[in-house]
Homo-oligomer: A and B are copies of this chain.
Amino acid sequence: MTTTTPGSAVTPTPASSVETDPRPAVSDSETELAARLRLAVLRLSRRLRQQVAGGVTATQVSALATIERLGSPTLGELAASEQVRPPSMTKIVVGLEEAGLVNRQVDAEDRRVARVMLNAEGRRVVQRSRSLRTAYLARRLRRLSAPERQSLGELVRLLEVLVEEP
């Protein structure tokens, strides 16, 4: 797989539990924060998954948004970006195709490659998922204090850094 497409990454590899790490130790409070962060992320993701609108699951919306963002990604690129394995993404895309939200096309230069693109309905679904009424997180964010909102951009950036491949 070539890595010339913007935003593309290699397929996520299983993490090793036995790696040797020479870096300085993390303090206890940092370990505590890591533990709390882990709990919060897992819990929040459950909440997000519970929001199903118009028959479109959180997993599907996420994939649609990523397709929009990456612009006709290959199936492998999409899988890597979403942090799932290619067979998993094949299934997700098949479901989106059956729902009439995306189209798949063989790449003109490499016939092994399937490119995924939003069709008009898929675009609508993504837009709608971001509307005030349907966007669960947008609604919750309105309950934050002004200082908390200030921190929001930084929080999002930090989480995105954590998601990136090591």
Residues of chain A having any CB pair with chain B under 8 Å:
12, 14-15, 17-19, 21, 23-26, 30-31, 33-51, 53, 58-59, 62, 65-66, 81-84, 130, 132-144, 148-149, 151-156, 158-163, 166
- Give the residues in chain B near A14, CB-CB below 8 Å: 50
Closest B-chain residue to A148, C-beta based? B158
Q: Please tell me which one of the listed residues B62, B83, B155 contacts residue A38 in the complex, with CB atoms under 8 A apart.
A: B62
- Give the residues in chain B near A41, CB-CB below 8 Å: 41, 44-45, 48, 159
Check B134 against A26 for contact (C-beta < 8 Å). Answer: no
- Shortest distance from the beta carbon of A146 to any chain B beta carbon, whole Å: 12
Main SS at interface, chain A: helix
- Give the residues in chain B near A84, CB-CB below 8 Å: 46
- Shortest distance from the beta carbon of A63 to any chain B beta carbon, whole Å: 10
Give CA–CA (A21, B132) in the complex, Å.
Answer: 9
- Shortest distance from the beta carbon of A130 to any chain B beta carbon, whole Å: 6
- Give the residues in chain B near A12, CB-CB below 8 Å: 47, 50
- Give the residues in chain B near A134, CB-CB below 8 Å: 17
Check B44 against A137 for contact (C-beta < 8 Å). Answer: no
- Give the residues in chain B near A160, CB-CB below 8 Å: 36, 40
Give CA–CA (A7, B27) in the complex, Å.
Answer: 26
Give CA–CA (A166, B43) in the complex, Å.
Answer: 14
Give CA–CA (A140, B138) in the complex, Å.
Answer: 27
Give CA–CA (A161, B18) in the complex, Å.
Answer: 34
Closest B-chain residue to A140, C-beta based? B162
Q: Please tell me which one of the listed residues B19, B149, B153, B163 contacts residue A40 in the complex, with CB atoms under 8 A apart.
A: B163
Check A30 against B132 for contact (C-beta < 8 Å). Answer: no
